[in-house]
A and B are shown apart, each in its own frame.
Chain A
């Protein structure tokens, strides 16, 4: 789904070793690339284990949105808060490197493509779930089948899936109907749960995974408490207890950070950031992210069937002023329909702020006096979303486009969105895999039908891009796709977000990634 999403699994022995060294040297910022391998025969990294450290201390984190559940294979899988919370509980076959579009071994020690339609993953031996049972290839198969069967937001990623074979306990063979270049990004989102237990009712209220943390307690809308998993196959986490506290109100979160009730939070709007600067107990870190704001037009509904109307709406916005005033320090002007941090990004010609041209285009589309429409959205999309929505209404109103405010509670908004029962849709979105396929092919093909846009040429390009493993060819194809979506103004893409983290003194070795944060490397020194 195009709702906030992402799994930032940054695990793997080699990476952790390297991370701690780099963190010590550069204060928590990552730089170099690692040879995790995206092609056949990735090597198991040399097991030069770090000095085994004992997890100590408690880290209390507050996420920008409530944790809606703990099921990473179901219909809420794309929710940002859920992915962040379960990242420590479950493992995936591979993880994306925090700094580059490369994939590192996690549960899969190596993988290969014996023929264009098969991917064979060899699992690392000796992995146990939190209840002591062994993790086998069958669990991988069951997890994938469940993800597809529940028809959640990630199911469309697996449209090309043909079958999953399990020749033995440590081998998984995934067969696809067409060659599939986006296998690694996709499996980086596939959390592995125990096959024998995952379908039991209530399993996901206290789920069992194989990750560095196990669930102690979960009180929905209040708190999730995790503790370090002593039987973890990888390096032990830095803290013994990881608590997620639900504090959705920004002002309350900032206060909690200042008073020490929580140790870490993010999703801070610029006004709160200024309030925190100079505070002696709090330090601020920021990183470009995969998240961005967008407004879609329903391309199946008049007047948005006419590309000139959509382009007029793009020309009507003064994006530079919006970024300078509302998004100061937390956003950059977008120059493509996907964020600049994603693989496949190619900068496009920006739409200048030109109200005359906007009115001209509207007149050419036989709408000289503008028109009326409604914009659906949910006011918990991200920092400054309410202000951004008001700014959009204002700029469009100035060229005669009267937009009614159709804000709704999140389930109602999601429902309307999926039924295509809207004129305009405003939301934040995230590229959960850091790969253009996740956004462009999942959301903009005729078959996807998420915003009514149907362009056979674009479909061809996107399908070709996913059916090849040649990354440079993919990059070229995605550049073409970006150009089509941008120039045709399928949506307006004003801002991509810079994520700002607030950490209390004593919280160290936190890894900055454009994806969702993970906490297994963090140590708390008091």
Chain B
């Protein structure tokens, strides 16, 4: 049987382009499927971002005023001033909707900032380590091992005790404990890239180290870095919630989800909504971000996908 190039009509019917082979058509279809899946899994994440940015503006949060007459009201109750508490009130009467939205913003802020800072740190450590190798590589990677061996919780306690509790300090703590993953990924990519022909060619034409790194190596590390960043985002949000739950994260007037869960700890049997609702929100967001990262990986590294 001979394999013929399809006609234009055949191509349009099967989804390919004129001149495609059957394999190429299949490839195109697979790619479109990936894009659709990516978009589908991106919707919850985009929703989270929109809610986190816009929500607190629409429902402002007052960290100080208590409403003792409205304390511990179940979700949906109408309060004394006529408004409805859709997610209930906590033990001093503060509305949970405002707190959860504020918590979403804090989660997003801390997550994105930490990933950005840790990513930059990782890039700054991983690329030289991979490119130069030898002593620099040894030094940086041993430093990374040291960082991994140090318990992150102890560091969090230290920073909270010395610098106090604030959103900035949480970002610092989490960046310092999480840059190693990014460093390892960029180092691996750099190692793979530095022996490639285009790098040798660039060196032959007289390009200096800095030019090679910035023009050739770093742009190639972006893709794996983005994938790792997305996965790490979910983990950072979880870590931030854990620190806040323990009282080592955000200060009391910044209601991170972890903090709201901690507040509701003593009321699990009487006012379950205080801990449960931010807990559910946290789970959903982390899952969505993680799964989106997974799909992003499929999309950007199609050859690496093992079906």
Q: Which residues of A contact B (CB under 8 A)?
A: 249-251, 269, 271-272, 274-275, 321-322, 325-326, 387, 390-391, 393-394, 397-398, 405, 407
Q: Which of A274, A390, A407 has the most CB of B within 10 A?
A: A390
Q: A387-B92, A394-B92 known; 8 other A-B pairs, CB under 8 Å? A: A250-B266, A251-B268, A251-B269, A271-B270, A272-B266, A275-B269, A394-B65, A394-B66
Give the docked Cα–Cα distance between A274 and B269 (Å). Answer: 11
| A358 to B275 CA separation, bound complex (whole angstroms) | 37
Measured between beta carbons, the chain B residues less than 8 angstroms from A390 are: 66, 92
A326 with B68: CB separation less than 8 A: yes
Closest residue of A by beta carbon distance from B270: A271
Does B69 reach chain A (CB closer than 8 Å)? yes
Q: Does B72 contact A (CB under 8 A)?
A: yes
Residues facing A in B50-92 (CB within 8 A) are 64-66, 68-69, 71-72, 91-92
Q: 11 interchain pairs (CB within 8 A)?
A: A251-B267, A275-B270, A321-B68, A322-B68, A387-B92, A390-B92, A391-B92, A393-B66, A394-B92, A397-B64, A405-B251
Q: Is B145 an interface residue (CB 8 A)?
A: no
Contacts of A274 in B (CB 8 A): 270
A387–B64 CB distance below 8 A: no
Q: Which residue of A lies closest to B252 (CB)?
A: A405
A274 to B251 alpha-carbon distance, docked (Å): 31
Cα–Cα, bound, A325→B90 (Å):
13
Known A-B contacts A271-B72, A321-B69, A405-B252; A393 and B266 likewise in contact (beta carbons under 8 Å): no
Most A C-beta atoms less than 10 A away, residue of B69, B91, B92, B268: B92
- Report whether A397 and B65 are in contact in the complex, using a CB–CB cutoff of 8 Å: yes
B251 A251 Cβ-Cβ under 8 A = no
Contact A325 B266 (CB under 8 A): no
Q: Is there contact, CB below 8 Å, between A407 and B68?
A: no
- Enumerate the 9 nearest inter-chain pairs by beta-carbon distance, A residue then B residue, closest first: A394-B66, A325-B68, A397-B64, A251-B266, A390-B92, A250-B266, A271-B270, A394-B65, A391-B66
Tell me which of A274, A387, A398 has the highest count of chain B C-beta atoms within 10 A of its own C-beta: A387
Contact pick for B253, options A272, A322, A326, A405, CB 8 Å: A405
Q: Which residue of B lies closest to A394 (CB)?
A: B66
Residues from chain A with Cβ under 8 Å of B270 in the complex:
271-272, 274-275
Minimum distance in angstroms from A199 CB to a CB of chain B: 33
User: Looking at B72, B267, B268, which has the most chain A CB atoms within 10 Å of its CB?
Assistant: B267
Give the size of the chain B interface in residues (CB under 8 angstroms). 19
A-side contacts of B66, CB under 8 Å: 390-391, 393-394
- Residues of B near A275 (CB, < 8 A) are 269-270
Q: How far is the CB of B94 from chain A (nearest CB, A)?
A: 8
Given contacts A251-B265, A271-B270, A325 and B69 within 8 Å (CB-CB): yes
Across the interface, which residues of B come within 8 angstroms of A394, CB to CB? Answer: 64-66, 92
> CB distance B71 to A325 under 8 Å?
yes
Neighbour of B252 across the interface among A249, A269, A407, CB < 8 A: A407
How many Å lie between the Cα of A321 and that of B93 in the bound state?
13
B185 close to A (CB within 8 Å): no
Q: CB-CB contacts of B176-198 with A at 8 A, as 1s and 0s?
A: 00000000000000000000000
Expressed in whole angstroms, the Cα–Cα distance for A405 and B247 within the complex equals 14
Q: Tell me how far the C-beta of B96 lies from the nearest C-beta in chain A, rounded to whole angstroms.
A: 15
Please give, as numbers and ranges, the residues of chain A lying within 8 Å of B267 by CB-CB distance: 251, 271
Cα distance A275–B69 in the bound complex, in angstroms: 20
Is B129 in the interface zone, CB < 8 Å from A? no
The answer to the question of B271 belonging to the interface, with a C-beta cut-off of 8 Å to chain A, is yes
Taken together as a complex, chains A and B put the C-alpha atoms of A139 and B271 apart, in Å, by: 53
Whole-angstrom CA separation of A391 from B91 in the bound complex: 11
| Shortest beta-carbon distance from A502 to chain B in Å | 15
In the complex, how many angstroms separate the beta carbon of A248 from the nearest chain B beta carbon?
11
CA distance A494 to B69 in the complex (A): 18
Give, as a whole number of angstroms, the nearest-CB distance from B68 to chain A.
Answer: 4
Q: How far is the CB of A324 from chain B (nearest CB, A)?
A: 8
Q: In the assembly, what is the distance between CA of A249 and CA of B252, in Å?
A: 19
Chain B residues with Cβ below 8 Å from A271 are 72, 91, 266-267, 270-271
Tell me how far the C-beta of A398 lies from the nearest C-beta in chain B, rounded to whole angstroms: 8
B64 and A391 contacting across the interface, CB-CB below 8 Å: no
For the complex formed, measure the closest distance between the CB of B160 and the CB atoms of chain A, giving whole angstroms. Answer: 10
Residue of B nearest to A409 (CB): B161
B251-262 interface code vs A (CB 8 A; 1 in, 0 out): 111000000000
Given the interface contacts A251-B265, A387-B91, does A393 sit within 8 Å of B64 by beta carbon? yes
Residues of chain A contacted by B64 (CB below 8 angstroms): 393-394, 397
| C-alpha gap A326/B266 in the complex (Å) | 14
Cβ–Cβ < 8 Å partners of B92 in chain A: 326, 387, 390-391, 394
Min distance, Cβ B294 to any Cβ of chain A, angstroms: 36
Q: Which residues of A contact B269 (CB under 8 A)?
A: 251, 275
Contacting residues, chain B, for A391 (C-beta < 8 A) = 66, 68, 92
Which residues of A have CB within 8 Å of B253?
405
Question: With A and B bound together, what is the CA distance between A369 and B126 in angstroms?
Answer: 55
Distance, CA A249 to CA B271, complexed state (A): 16
Chain B residues, CB < 8 A from A387: 71, 91-92
- Which residues of A lie under 8 Å from residue B265 when comparing CB positions? 249, 251
Provide the residues of chain A in CB contact with B252, threshold 8 Å. Answer: 405, 407
In the complex, A398→B62 CA distance in Å?
12
The smallest C-beta distance from B246 to any residue of chain A, in angstroms, reads 13
In Å, the complex CA distance between A387 and B268 comes to 16
- Specify the chain B residue showing the minimal Cβ separation from A412: B161
Closest chain A residue to B263 by CB distance?
A: A386
